[in-house]
Amino acid sequence: MRAFLSLCVLGTLSAPAQAEPRQVLGYAGVLGEWELTATVNEKAHWWSKDFSGSLSMKHVGICTRDGPEERTGEIRFQISAYSSQLDAKLLVEGIECTYSARHAEPYSGMMTCPDREAIPLKLWLR
């Protein structure tokens, strides 16, 4: 019985804590004309942190006719524990884009999508 209780206590202590969802905020485009928002969940490893969740992109530039254009999708990214490098995949309406940036406030890099020019993307993780 004592051995069973010891195993239960050890199992409880070694279980990973549930992380609260995190917010991702960002601006894409040369003039920051696309606003990006996402809610992601974290899965921590000893070598990195993985995040994934749904995202929304809204065109906030002044060149909209019938209100702001909105697109939805998913974001998956990993932050290296060693270098603070952020590597991401964004899937927006069936198009997969990649993004890579070093840690800074904000993360700042280029988002690359197939058959399009790379565009600047700044991200904040809250």
Residue extents of the structural domains in the chain? 19-125
Give tens-digit pLDDT for 34-62.
Answer: 999 999 999 988 888 999 999 999 999 87
DSSP 20: P
Q: Which residue has the higher pLDDT, 124 or 18?
A: 124
Residue 1 has pLDDT above 70, yes or no: no
pLDDT, position 83: 87
**Model-level pTM?**
0.80
Mean pLDDT of 93-118: 94
Residue 72 has pLDDT above 90, yes or no: yes
Between 118 and 105, residue with greater pLDDT: 118
Task: Give the H/E segment covering residue 9.
Answer: helix 2-14
How many residues are given for the chain?
Answer: 126
CA proximity to 55, closest of 93, 13, 105:
93
Which option is the CATH number for 19-125: 2.40.128, 3.30.450, 2.60.40, 1.10.3470?
2.40.128
pLDDT value of residue 46? 83
Average pLDDT value for residue range 100-104 = 89
Q: Each residue of 14-30: pLDDT tens digit?
A: 445 567 899 999 999 99
- Burial group, residue 88, by CB count within 10 angstroms (0-12, 13-18, 19+): buried
